[in-house]
Structure 1
Amino acid sequence: MTAWLPEGAARRLLAAATLLTMLGYGIYLTAGVLYLTQGLHLPAAEVGLGMSAAGAVSLAAGVPIGHLADRLGARGVYSVTLLLGGLAMAGLCLSRAFWPFLLCATVSAVAQSAGPAARGPLVAKYGGERPAEFRSYLRAVTNLGIAVGALVAAWAVERDTQDAYVLVIAASAVSYGIGAVTAALMPSVPPRLARPGPRWIALRDRPYVALTVLDGLMAVQYRVLTVAVPLWLLERTTAPRWSVSAVMLLNTAIVVCLQVRASRRIDSVPAGAAAFRRAGFAFLLSCVAVSLVSGAPGWLVLVVLLAAVAVHTFGEMWQAAGGFELSFALAPDDAVGQYQGLFGMGLGLGITIGPSVLIALCIDLGRPGWWIVGIGFALTGLAVPPTARWAQRELEHRAVPQPGVVEPQPSPGV
C-alpha cells in the first residue's frame, strides 16, 4: 500500500466508499444540530434527547449486522448500511417535527454504528496479510472525509438559513448514496459457514468481551479534545477562542498524515496490547499538561496546549492501531463481522458516556479531575496486555479440533 493510494481495485473502492460516507457524516456532525435547532427551530433539549436515544439504540446494532455480513455476504450488507445512512439524511431534509427527526436520527446512528461491522469481513478479505494496517489507512481516510465534510457544512453555518442547511444535508444524502454504489462495485465476499454451536459466539467470548470493555473505557479519550478541552480553554484559561479550532485541525492533520505509519509495527497481539499501554501513558501525560495551563499566560497556554494535543493524538493513533490489530487477530475467521460489531460497541459506549464523565471530572472537579481521568487511562492501558494474552489462549484453544466435532465444509461453488 502506497502512502496515499492503496493497491488493488477492491481496496481503492473500499477507500472511496469510506471517504464518500465520511464526507456525508462530517456534514451531519457539523451542521446537523444547527439545522435542527436554528433551521427547524426544534428545542435544543429535544434534539439532545433524540440524539442520545438514537445513540443508545445504535449500540445494539453492530453484532447482529456483523453477523448478517458474515452469513449473507459483507458487500451487500455494507452497501445497505450506507444506503440507509443516505435515506436518513434525505429524511432529515423533509422532517419538520420531533418524531420524524427521531426516526431519521436513529436510522442514521444505526447505519453509522453497523457500517464498520459490516465492513469488517471486507477489510479482512482485501486487507492482505495486514488487515489492521489497511484499517488504519481507512481511519486516516475517515478523518479526511469528516474534515472535508466539516468544511462543506461551514458554508451553511456561515449563512445560517434553513435553505442552506437543507442544501448541505441533501449533499450529505447524495454522498452516502454514491458511497453505497461504490461499495456495491467491489468484488463480492462469499458468506462464511457457521461453526456448530451457539449463534452469538462473540458475546460468549469472555476475554474478547473484556477487551471490548477496556477499549470502551479508553475510547472516552475521543471526547477529551471535542468536549473537555474546549470547555476548559474557554472557562479556565485566557486562550483565544480560535484555539478550539486549532486543536481539531492539529489532531486531524496528525491522524491523516501519520496513522498508517503509527500502525506499521503493530503487527501481532503482543504489539497491539503494548500499543494500548503506550496510549494510556500518553493520555495521562496530555491530561496532566492540559490541567496545568489554567491561569497561565495566553502564549504559554497555546504552546503547552498544542504539545499536549500532539501527545494525545499519538496516543489516539496507538489505541486505534492496537484495537484494529487485536480485534482482527483475536476473532475467528468465520465470525469477523460479528466480532467487529461487538468490538465497535465498546467504542460507541465510550463515546456515549464520555461527555458526562469528562464534564463531571475535568470541568466540575477541575485540575484533580484531569489527573483522575489520566490515571484511569493509564490503568486501562496496563490492563490490556494480560487480557489480550487471555483472549489469545482462548482463541488457540477453540482452534484445536475437539473430539467428536466435525468442522463444517464449504458447499460446492462457494
Structure 2
Amino acid sequence: MSQTSTLPPDGRQEDTAPDRRSWPVRRGLLLESGPQRRLALGGFVNQLGTAAFLATAPLYALRVIGLPLGQVGLGLGVAGVVGLLAGPPVGHLADRRGPRGVFLVTLLVQAVSMLSLLFAHSFTAFMVSMAVTDLAGASGGAARGPMIRRFGGDEVPKFRSYLRSTAFLASTFGALAAGAVIQLDSGSAYRALIVANALTFVGCAVVVLRLPELEPLPAATGSNRWLALKDKPYMAFVVLDGILWIQGEVVTYALPLWVVLHTQAPRWFTGVALAVNTVMVVVLQIRTSRGIKGGQVAGRATRRAGLAFLLGMAVIATAPGLPGWAAAAVMTAGVAVHTVGSLWHAAGSLELRFRLAPAHAQGQYSGVFGIGMGLCYTVAPGLLGLLCLSWGAPGWLAMGGVFVAAGLAVPLVVRWAGRSRELSA
C-alpha cells in the first residue's frame, strides 16, 4: 500500500530541514566557514594593527626618532605617493600569476619594513621604511581585489560590505590600542606597537595560507598592464569616486576641528560623533548593500549618496552659535544623515569597482581604483581645511555641492561604460 505525500499547492517539496547554523551566522554577524570567512579574518587582523600604527606613526617619528614636524609630514607624504604607484603593475602581476601568492609576498614585505622602523634613526631611514611599507600595502590591496571578486562569487557587494564592516570594527579597536600607547607616550610603548603591527602582517599571512590557490586568469587578446589606464570610462569613474571618498574624512578630520574651533559643543562630542558613524556602518552596511547589484542600480545609489552628503553637511554647518547641547544634537543628526550617504556610496562604489572591470584584469583595475582612493585621502585634509574650516558654513555647503555633482555624474559614466563595452565587444 503506497503512502500518499502531501505537497504545498504549488507542488514543490517544502524544505523542513532545521537550520543548524550558529546564531552569529544566521544573523549575518559571522560568515559561514570557508574562504570568505578566512579572507575576512585576515583583513580584520591586518587592519587592527594598521589602524593602531597609523594613529601613532607621526608621534613615533617625533618622540622616538627625534625628527622635526616638517620632516615627519614630508616623509609620510612621500611614502604615500610612492605607495600609489604600485597598484596597477602589481595588480597585473596578480592577474597573471595568481593573487594569493602575490598577496602573501606583500604581507611579508610589510612585516619586514615595519620592523625596520625600530632601527630608523634618521629622516632618510624613516622615509624609506614608510615608503616600502606603503608600497607593499598598496600592492597588497591590488592583489586582494581579485580574491574578493572571485571568492565573493555572485554576492560580491554583500561580501565587500561585510569586509568593510569588519574593517571599521578593527579600526575602532586599533584606535583604542593607539590611545593607550599615546597615553603612555614612551619609546618602549611605541616600539611594542610597531612589533605588534608587524606580527599582524604575519598573522594575516598565516590565515591567507589556508585559502585555496586561485589559478591565474587567461589574458584577453592584446591586453597589457596599462589596460585600466586606457579605459576612459573607468578612469572617469575612479576620479568621481575618489572625490566622493573624501566624505570619509568629513567625520574623522573636518568635524573634530569644526567642533573645537567653531562650536560650543563639548570636545568629547567628537568621540560620540565617531561612535555614531562607526556603529551605523558596522550594523547597517551589509543590509544597505542588499539589492545594490548591477551598474545602473549602483549608479543610482551613488547619486542618492551625494544628496545625503549635502543634507548632512548642511545640518552640521548650522551648529555655530547654538548652545553646547543644541550644537551637539544638531551635529549628531547631521553625522547620522552623512553616514547614511556613506553607506549608499560604499555599496555603489564597491559594486562598480568590480562591475566595470573585465574579469581577466581585476587586479590591475583594483590597483587603479586604489590610486583614486589614495589621492582622495591626500587631497582631503587641504580641501576640507580650506572649504569647511576656513570658509565656515558656506564652505560646508560648497563641499556638499561637490559631492552632489560627483554623485549625479556617476550614472552617466556607468551608461558611457556600458556603451563602450558594447562597441568593443
The interval holding the TM-score normalised by the smaller chain is: over 0.9
The residue that corresponds to 1:78 in the other structure is 103
The residue that corresponds to 2:90 in the other structure is 65
Cα shift readout 1:356-388 (whole Å, capped 9, x = no counterpart):
011011111111111110011011100000111
Against the structure 1 CA distance between its residues 245 and 345, is the aligned structure 2 distance closer, same or farther, given a 3 Å change threshold?
same
Matched, 1:42 2:67: yes
Against the structure 1 CA distance between its residues 396 and 8, is the aligned structure 2 distance closer, same or farther, given a 3 Å change threshold?
farther
1:14-413 equivalence runs, <5 A: 14-199=39-224, 200-398=226-424, 400=425
SS in 2 for 1:301: helix
SS in 2 for 1:128: helix
Q: Which runs of 5+ in 1 are unaligned?
A: 401-414
SS in 2 for 1:265: coil
Identity %: 42
Q: Distance in 1 between matches of 2:402 and 2:412?
A: 17
Q: Distance in 2 between matches of 1:283 and 1:88?
A: 38
Cα shift readout 1:117-153 (whole Å, capped 9, x = no counterpart):
2111111111021112211111111111111111222
Q: Which residue identity does 1:192 align to in structure 2?
A: L
Cα shift readout 1:10-59 (whole Å, capped 9, x = no counterpart):
11110111001001111112222222212322211111111111111112
**Higher mean C-alpha deviation, range 240-249 or range 109-118:** 109-118
SS in 1 for 2:246: helix
Cα shift readout 1:325-379 (whole Å, capped 9, x = no counterpart):
1111111110011111111211111111000011011111111111110011011
Cα shift readout 1:80-124 (whole Å, capped 9, x = no counterpart):
222222222212222222111111111222233232221111111
Q: Distance in 2 between matches of 1:215 and 1:261?
A: 21
Q: Is the Cα contact below 8 Å between 1:26 and 1:150 reproduced in 2?
A: yes
Q: Which residue identity does 1:85 align to in structure 2?
A: Q
The residue that corresponds to 1:408 in the other structure is none
**Higher mean C-alpha deviation, range 260-269 or range 76-85:** 76-85
Q: Distance in 1 between matches of 2:336 and 2:121?
A: 42
Q: Distance in 2 between matches of 1:342 and 1:265?
A: 26
Q: Distance in 2 between matches of 1:395 and 1:4?
A: 37
Q: Which residue identity does 2:117 align to in structure 1?
A: L
Q: Distance in 1 between matches of 2:249 and 2:257?
A: 11
Against the structure 1 CA distance between its residues 248 and 87, is the aligned structure 2 distance closer, same or farther, given a 3 Å change threshold?
farther
Q: CA deviation at 1:171?
A: 0.6
Cα shift readout 1:253-290 (whole Å, capped 9, x = no counterpart):
11111111111110111111011101101110111111
Q: Which runs of 5+ in 2 are unaligned?
A: 1-24
Q: Distance in 1 between matches of 2:46 and 2:95?
A: 22
**Higher mean C-alpha deviation, range 332-341 or range 37-46:** 37-46
C-alpha root-mean-square deviation of aligned residues, in Å?
1.3
Q: Is the Cα contact below 8 Å between 1:40 and 1:162 reproduced in 2?
A: no
Q: Is the Cα contact below 8 Å between 1:279 and 1:316 reproduced in 2?
A: yes
Cα shift readout 1:294-347 (whole Å, capped 9, x = no counterpart):
111100111111111111111112111111111111111100111111112111
Q: Distance in 2 between matches of 1:397 and 1:189?
A: 31
Cα shift readout 1:47-82 (whole Å, capped 9, x = no counterpart):
111111111111221111111110110001112222
Q: Distance in 1 between matches of 2:85 and 2:337?
A: 33
SS in 2 for 1:267: coil
**Higher mean C-alpha deviation, range 246-255 or range 45-54:** 246-255
Q: CA deviation at 1:198?
A: 4.2
| Superposed structure 1 runs of 4+ greater than 4 Å apart | none
SS in 2 for 1:129: helix
Q: Distance in 2 between matches of 1:213 and 1:193?
A: 28
Q: Distance in 2 between matches of 1:15 and 1:312?
A: 26
Q: How many pairs does the alignment contain? A: 399
Q: Which residue identity does 1:307 align to in structure 2?
A: A
Against the structure 1 CA distance between its residues 394 and 8, is the aligned structure 2 distance closer, same or farther, given a 3 Å change threshold?
farther
SS in 2 for 1:130: helix
Q: Which residue identity does 2:87 align to in structure 1?
A: G
Q: Distance in 1 between matches of 2:33 and 2:418?
A: 31
SS in 2 for 1:240: coil
Q: Distance in 2 between matches of 1:223 and 1:254?
A: 16
Q: Which has the larger radius of gyration?
A: 2
Q: Distance in 1 between matches of 2:260 and 2:193?
A: 29
Q: Distance in 1 between matches of 2:382 and 2:65?
A: 27
